[in-house]
Amino acid sequence: METNLFQPLVAAVVSAAIATRSYRKKSLDLSGAIAGFAVMTIHIAVNYRFGAVLLIFFFTSSMFTKFGEDKKRKVDADFKEGGQRNWIQVLFNSGIATLLVLIAWKLVGSQDYCLNSKESGLMTSLIGGIIGHYCCCNGDTWSSELGILSDEQPRLITTFKPVRRGTNGGVTKAGLLAAAAGGSVIGLTFVILGFITTNCTFNVALKQLLLIPVSALAGLCGSVIDSLLGATLQYSGFCSVRNKVVGKPGPTVKRISGLSVLDNNAVNLVSIFLTTALTSITCLYIF
């Protein structure tokens, strides 16, 4: 019984410490800290590798969100000090993966698992989906937070016409490269911990390395899907009073692109869902 309780206890203690620190550092507001504690506890309690990819996403994204805050403050109409996130943003960026983690726990408990569809295609699909989820989240965040700092002129992904910084659907080469890098970090984390914690055969273990380029593509794919949705179904306009790109129409706002169908959270959710599904199918095919 003590062994069974050890991992959930570690999960709760680590999650509480991170949530408290994030609240104090203004990475999360109070509601976000509570939601983050719950999500982190579930991930770590079920599998340390699931916890690791979540934490890599959270820490690297929080770090890059705080880069160049002075420049972002001038461009971003919804700028928040420290990139503070609430419970809605936490759940939109982790809800699907948390559901998949719970399904994986129901199937195999807390035991670690080698990506091998010959043993269990369902588990391979679930793990691929979890990884794809965080590759999308990490890739999109890295792309947004680092791309906006680039001196390169953003171009609307649907027309390739130059647009103002902060326009939904605007992309740069630096941003796309950052998306691929953000995804690959998630895959690399999962693979490295897998070598330490699993007892896979040599051939199966070696094949896990394919997860790194798959993760890079998932990060890039998620960012591209997000940009396509942002350019078409999310409104962007330039406010002559605030002198910034804004996400809602108004009397002082000149439309740049998109329709007022989805807000930023909804765009994130749809892109995460699609990338999760695509990565899940890809892993089932490859492994």
pLDDT in tens, 180-194: 999 999 999 999 998
Q: What is the structure's pLDDT at 3?
A: 45
Residue, of 103 and 73, whose pLDDT is higher: 103
- State the CB neighbour count (10 A cutoff) for residue 190: 24
Identify the helix (H) or strand (E) that includes residue 197: helix 173-197
Q: Report the pLDDT averaged over residues 60-73.
A: 74
Q: For the chain, what percent of residues have pLDDT higher than 70? A: 92
Q: Report the pLDDT averaged over residues 242-249.
A: 87
Q: Report the pLDDT averaged over residues 30-43.
A: 95
Q: Quick one: pLDDT band at residue 1, thresholds 50, 70, 90?
A: very low
Q: Which long-range contacts (CB under 8 A, 24 or more apart) does 258-262 make?
A: 258/168, 258/169, 258/230, 258/231, 258/232, 258/233, 258/234, 259/232, 259/233, 259/234, 259/235, 260/234, 260/235, 261/233, 261/234, 262/229, 262/233, 262/234
What is the residue-averaged pLDDT of the chain? 88
Residue, of 150 and 1, whose pLDDT is higher: 150
User: Model confidence over 111-143: pLDDT tens digits?
Assistant: 777 777 776 888 999 999 999 999 999 999 999
- Whether residue 146 is predicted with pLDDT greater than 90 in this model: the reply is no
User: Model confidence over 22-32: pLDDT tens digits?
Assistant: 999 888 999 99
Structure tokens at 191: 């693979």
Q: Report the pLDDT averaged over residues 73-86.
A: 63
Least confident of 189-203, 238-252, 260-274: 189-203
**Secondary structure (3-state) at 170:** strand
Structure tokens at 143: 């792309």
Q: Quick one: pLDDT band at residue 77, thresholds 50, 70, 90?
A: low
Q: Quick one: pLDDT band at residue 179, thresholds 50, 70, 90?
A: very high
Q: What is the structure's pLDDT at 224?
A: 96
Q: What is the structure's pLDDT at 76?
A: 58
- State the CB neighbour count (10 A cutoff) for residue 9: 11
Q: What is the structure's pLDDT at 174?
A: 92
196: which residues sit within 8 A by CB, 6+ positions away?
none
**260 and 249 Cβ atoms separated by less than 8 Å:** yes
Distance CA 96, CA 86 (A): 17
Q: Quick one: pLDDT band at residue 2, thresholds 50, 70, 90?
A: very low
Q: Quick one: pLDDT band at residue 109, thresholds 50, 70, 90?
A: confident
Q: What is the structure's pLDDT at 182?
A: 96
- Whether residue 257 is predicted with pLDDT greater than 50 in this model: the reply is yes
Q: What is the structure's pLDDT at 69?
A: 64
